[in-house]
Structures are given as C-alpha cells and as structure tokens.
Amino acid sequence: MQLRYSFRVYPSAGQRTALARAFGCARVVFNDALRVREEARRAGLPFVTSAELSTHLTAVKKTPERAWLGEVSAVILQQSLRDLDTAYRNFFDGLKGKRPRMGAPRFTSKRDNRQSIRFTANAAWRITPGGKLRLPKIGDLKVKWSRTLPSAPSTVTVVKDRAGRYVASFVVETDASEVLPQTTPEVGIDLGLGHFAVLSDGTKVDSPRFLRRAEMRLKKAQRALSRKEKGSCNRNKARTKVARAHARVADARREFHHQLSTRLIRENQAVAVEDLAVKGLARTRLAKSVHDAGWSAFVSMLEYKAARYGRTFIRIGRFEPTSQVCSQCGVKDGPKPLNVREWTCQACGAVLDRDINAAVNVAKAAGLAVSACGAQVRRAPVPAPRSEAGTHPKRPTQRTWEQARIPGPWAREDVTCC
C-alpha cells in the first residue's frame, strides 16, 4: 500500500520566492486548462482530453504572454493538469453515484491561503547525503526529519498551509514486512462526545476537547483580526496568527488520533466501529463538539492502519440499534434520550451502561467474540414470580442475629455480576 509521510521544511528567503513562483505557475496552468474545457463545453464541442491540454500547454509556453512558465520545472505544470483531471473524475463519479457527490472544478485564486506543487520521479529531485531536499529550479531545502522513510519515495509534494508553514509530503510504498503478529483481543468501539471512545471491554477514553480548551485564545486572535483594516499588512499578520492558533488545535487533535488509533490496532486483532452520519450531526446544535471530536479522521486512521498492520477493520451500518438493544438478552426496548446514560433492561433486569452496552453491540454486530465481563452489568432487584410468592416465616430481629454471632442480612454486600 501507499503511505504519505510529511515533514516540515524551512526554505530560505530566495527559496520562498522560487516556491511562490512555482505555486503561481501551477495555478495559472490549472486555470487555463479549466477555461479551455469550459469554453468547449459552452460551445457544444467534445470534451478536451489531457493530451490536447498538454499540447496546448507546450504551445502556450512559447508565446510572449506565457514565456515565464519556462522558469519552473515542467513536471509541476504537467502535474497541475493531472490535478484537474482528478477533479473532473471525482465530479463525474459523484454524478454516477460511485462516490459522494461533489461540485465541479473551480478556478483557483492567488489569494488562496493553501498552495501546493508536486514533483514526480522524472523531475530529478532527490534527498542529498546531507539530508536536504533538492528540488529542480528551487534549491536544497532544509528538512526536519522526525523519522526514517521505510522505502524510496516516488513523489514529493511541497505544501504551504494557511499558517505560512512549508511541508514536504512523500509518497512511499510499503510491503507485508510491517504486519504485526497475531493477537487474541477483539474490540468494538462506540464513539461519542462525553467520552471520545468507549471500548467493548469497558475502557473509556476521555474526550480532549482541543477546540473548547483553545476557545479563549482563538477568540482573542479573532477579535484582533476584526479590528484590522482590510487590505493592510497588519491584517495579514493578524490573519496568520489566527491560522497558526487553529493549526495548533488541529495538530494536537491529529496527534491524539494517531496515538489512540495506533494503540488500538496494535493491541487488538479486530476493530469494529459504527458508520456515523457525521454530516447530519454537524448540522445540529452539537456541531462544534462534533467537529472538535474529528470522528471521520479517526476512523480513517483505524482503517488504513488495520490494512497496513494486517488487522481486521469492520464498519457496521449506521442504522444498527446499538443503544436500543440489551447486550445481555438481545431485547430491543426502543430509543432513549441522550440524558439517559444508564438503563435497566425490562426483560432480564440487567443495569447497563449506555456507552459500554453500545460498544458491545457494535462488536456483536460485526461478528466479533466479545466477553460479557466488559459490559459492567449488575442485576437489579427483580420481583418474585407469583407462583413463588406467599407467606414466609417471621425473620428474627437484629438483636437475635447478634446474640447468635451470625452476620445478618444487613451485612451483605451488593454483588456485581460479571
């Protein structure tokens, strides 16, 4: 499988200028190709192919108006055309129902805060013996290596994000040597807001709430931005501060997702989660908390790490009544409001934790072997059947039990059934 490794790069002033030139050329080529296809569509002409766009680009570079396109690597421009093809393919696949529907390709602006360029193997880029990234017509970029690449990368993408940071993203191929040894535990996961994740073995992972904790700092930066005059240099500096504050929140959330997903994949042979309707939940009054949790990114990490390390990943349907079914007897007693965190099964009398019960049901729906010990079930007092009810002999008083030095029934402890 293919993996992407990202590292921070620190270009010099001249290299930042060269990167800005490359970003601009890639943007112009993308917009020119999109304009050609749109004009052909309005005129009722056939769809312009990629080969025709590449020929058109070669001819345009020889004109005086676009001669400056030759100042950057030709691979960057060709990859910009590939990005346009990908955008059209995703748009048409959405119309056919092969993937979630998305809008048609749009023109990119030079005021976009996130820009990127991509180099393939034929661009003659390489990593120098000194650990720097050598890019054609840009130079040797200083890279902050945090880990070793598992294999030789095939492509590298240089990204400038909204916070003004430069990142080099490498695509590498991995083999089956990273498959982890077999293990026994299998776990179901119930994702929530009070607890980020509740496992079928009874473990509860608290929600860090990174956005909620950083709200005061974000509000302060946003108020400072709103006071700046539009178009001024001070406003641009304030915008960068806001972007950096949000980037710190996103980085902390991503690190939390990576650590938790890696631990779950390493400790369990199979992992099951519920397919949540995140887009629908993001339109409710819980929208901020839903976005702060980042369930979709976490589930995506579980999925690709399971494939990477030879684990089993199962996603059950979102309409599975995990919160309505008793995990002990399987009786469904209807939906419950969110404020009900513990409920008693009317059929078997088991007192169930809502989240743990849902996690156990997720594992059972996925066909995983789950022990009832993790459900934290205790038996509630159940009335005796009518056939067993009747007159019982009078029980001795507390003084009688004490004289006989026998512990009375008041000395018994509640028994928790596992």
What predicted TM-score, i.e. pTM, was given to this entire model? 0.80
Q: Pick the catalytic residue: 32, 186, 201, 274?
A: 274
CB burial readout 215-246, b (16+ within 10 A) else e: eeeeeebeebbeeeeeeeeebeebbbebbebb
Residue 172, helix vs strand vs coil: strand
Q: Are 168 and 11 in contact (CB under 8 A)?
A: no
pLDDT in tens, the chain (418 residues): 888 999 999 999 999 999 999 999 999 999 999 999 999 999 999 999 999 999 999 999 999 989 999 999 999 999 999 999 999 999 999 999 898 888 999 999 888 888 999 999 889 899 999 999 999 999 999 999 999 898 889 999 999 999 999 999 999 988 766 788 888 888 999 998 889 999 988 889 999 999 999 999 999 999 999 999 998 999 999 999 999 999 999 999 999 999 999 999 999 999 999 888 888 888 888 889 999 999 999 999 999 999 888 899 999 888 888 888 888 887 887 788 788 788 788 778 778 888 888 888 888 888 886 654 444 444 444 444 444 444 444 454 444 334 444 444 434 344 344 3
355 catalytic? Reply is: yes
- 324 within 8 A of 335, measured Cβ to Cβ: yes
- Of the residues 201, 292, 353, 355, only one is catalytic, namely 355
CB of 328 closer than 8 Å to CB of 197: no
Residue 274 bears catalytic tag: yes
The residue from 190, 292, 303, 353 that is catalytic is: 190
190 is catalytic: yes
